[in-house]
Structure 1
Amino acid sequence: MDYDRLVTVIRQLALEAGDRIMEIYNVDDFEVKVKSDDSPVTEADEAADAIISAGLRAAFPDVTLVTEEQAASHSKHAETFLIVDPLDGTKEFINRRGDFTVNIAYVENGVPTRGVVYAPARGRMFFTRADGSAVEEDGPFHKDTPGILRAIRVSEPDNTALMVVASKSHRDQATDDYIGKYAVKDMKSAGSSLKFCLIATGEADIYPRVGRTMEWDTAAGDAVLRGAGGSTVTLDGKPLAYGKREQLHDSDFANPHFIAWGRRDEEATENDLKVSFGRD
């Protein structure tokens, strides 16, 4: 893969999709439908998916593409693939809370190695460069020429207290119970894949997710976090893997529960995870 070209294309497509999303977001009313899994979908999801899918298929016709909105795209097995959530945080979009993102990622052998997360209503753009490192781009954003790029890194660990970021729309008691194990410096809520990016920039230290997610929800944010020196692990302390198919107890591309971290003590964290969730 030509990573320079990949990064250029996914950044441009994220901006194009974000522009279309905002056009729909700013109208007085838009249609909301319900998918077969009872989750909402809007015309913005579908329009953004069309833009991104067409662009990726034109640029990388030989790379398998998986998108949330196209069930037929999930049929082909591949170790290396592109994965897209054209509008992550649809509930945030419907409720006009602004915390929604465009997510595009490239997965190699189960690892999201390149990705872009664009939050058009927040004016924030995060992506991995060709070398895999993570940056935040300062707006205003222009499709053909990136603006000022700032390298981002996760914060140094604070052994006394953590800054926690948690979901706005999917907060539950299990999450609160896990957070309650720690001395918490402060807590903030964020929607969509922005939670990964807040850890990547050092604005938060930990994002625990003990609810259901799919790979297209997490891959791009996870790529940015890994590029900034962070990690995402399952409750057994193993790196969150991608391309999960034919799972015994869940559907294709469904994630197990996970914790996204900034810098951490690997051995201490793995032991802590097992104790926290009764897995000794």
Structure 2
Amino acid sequence: MMVILRSLALEAGDAIMEIYNSEDFDVRAKSDDSPVTAADEAADKLISAGLRAAFPDAALVTEEQSATHDLSVSDFFIVDPLDGTKEFVQRRGDFTVNIAWVEAGVPVRGVVYAPAKGRLFMTRADGQSVEEIGPFDKETPGEAKEIHVSTPDETALLVVASKSHRDAATDAYIGKYSVADMRSAGSSLKFCLVATGEADLYPRLGRTMEWDTAAGHAVLSGAGGHVVRFDDHSPLAYGKDGFANPFFIAHAPGVTLLPG
């Protein structure tokens, strides 16, 4: 499975970068006023076709086809072909291709590829997460290193938050902790920064959808981290009606989570 997911993520990344490097690209608004581009649609078409050909009996949820989804199974693929469209439109580079496999409501396998950053994160077949060292060959996986969450120093935490969706409530919550360094990042890269130990804590007090988070969630879990609901700190589950997430916190296990 992971060889196919990796290859599709890289192919989608190539299609995205071709449009990203063009002089201009069409930006339109979806029904919820979020932006969509030709890159979102090209990547969605490529990944959807590849997954349906390789896994014809598996359920598939993608952001760009979300209006057609009526999910009645607990095991499914979930895809955000271009996570961080705002970052893409502003040419900031913090966008990713997200492909995940969910079993019984839990993301157990995932690929997060940031083509403009040249970073590729994925879970192996045994569930361990790795970061592959580029350059990348779509057919043959290259050298990869296992990634693991940090052992946090709770007197000097490393925190990452959304670049495009950070607000006063998020800042107020982060202010409850002893923070040594605060950085902003776009898309599911925030999960990956916690997975590699580059950050200890990522709180999200804003609207997200399951396709935004599933692949990054899988990568973080495979590196020893957790993603929990903000309200009661129970595990974040998938396959919810409408695919909308509650507020959540992604963190390394050594962080003592504080109430909101």
TM-score normalised to structure 2 length: 0.98
Q: Could you tell me which residue of structure 2 aligns to residue 16 of structure 1?
A: 11
- Tell which deviates more after alignment, 70-79 or 56-65: 70-79
Deviation (angstroms), 1:71 = 2.8
Q: Could you tell me which residue of structure 2 aligns to residue 253 of structure 1?
A: 243
SS of residue paired to 1:70: helix
For residues 71 and 51 of structure 1, the distance between their equivalents in structure 2, rounded to whole angstroms, comes to 16
| Equivalent of 1:97 in 92, 112, 121 | 92
Cα deviations across residues 43-84 of structure 1 (Å, max 9, x unaligned)?
A: 000000000000000000111000000135411311000000
Deviation (angstroms), 1:263 = 2.2
User: Contact 1:65/1:73 (CA < 8 Å) preserved in 2?
Assistant: no
Is 1:46 matched up with 2:41? yes
Deviation (angstroms), 1:159 = 2.4
Q: Could you tell me which residue of structure 2 aligns to residue 217 of structure 1?
A: 212
Runs of 5+ unmatched residues, structure 2: none
Cα deviations across residues 132-178 of structure 1 (Å, max 9, x unaligned)?
A: 01000000000111111000000012121110001100000000000
| Equivalent of 1:170 in 140, 144, 165 | 165
Q: Could you tell me which residue of structure 1 aligns to residue 136 of structure 2?
A: 141
SS of residue paired to 1:69: helix
Q: Could you tell me which residue of structure 1 aligns to residue 145 of structure 2?
A: 150
User: Contact 1:208/1:259 (CA < 8 Å) preserved in 2?
Assistant: yes
Q: Could you tell me which residue of structure 2 aligns to residue 237 of structure 1?
A: 233
For residues 253 and 125 of structure 1, the distance between their equivalents in structure 2, rounded to whole angstroms, comes to 25
Deviation (angstroms), 1:264 = 2.3
Q: Could you tell me which residue of structure 2 aligns to residue 108 of structure 1?
A: 103
Tell me which stretches of 4 or more aligned residues in structure 1 moved more than 3 Å: none
For residues 159 and 225 of structure 1, the distance between their equivalents in structure 2, rounded to whole angstroms, comes to 19
| Equivalent of 1:25 in 11, 15, 20 | 20
For residues 117 and 71 of structure 2, the distance between their equivalents in structure 1, rounded to whole angstroms, comes to 35
User: Contact 2:154/2:178 (CA < 8 Å) preserved in 1?
Assistant: no
- RMSD over aligned CA atoms reads 0.9
User: Contact 1:230/1:262 (CA < 8 Å) preserved in 2?
Assistant: yes
Q: Could you tell me which residue of structure 2 aligns to residue 203 of structure 1?
A: 198
For residues 154 and 216 of structure 2, the distance between their equivalents in structure 1, rounded to whole angstroms, comes to 25
For residues 27 and 160 of structure 1, the distance between their equivalents in structure 2, rounded to whole angstroms, comes to 46
For residues 173 and 71 of structure 2, the distance between their equivalents in structure 1, rounded to whole angstroms, comes to 37
SS of residue paired to 1:204: coil
Aligned length: 259
| Equivalent of 2:73 in 78, 88, 111 | 78
Runs of 5+ unmatched residues, structure 1: 1-5, 246-251
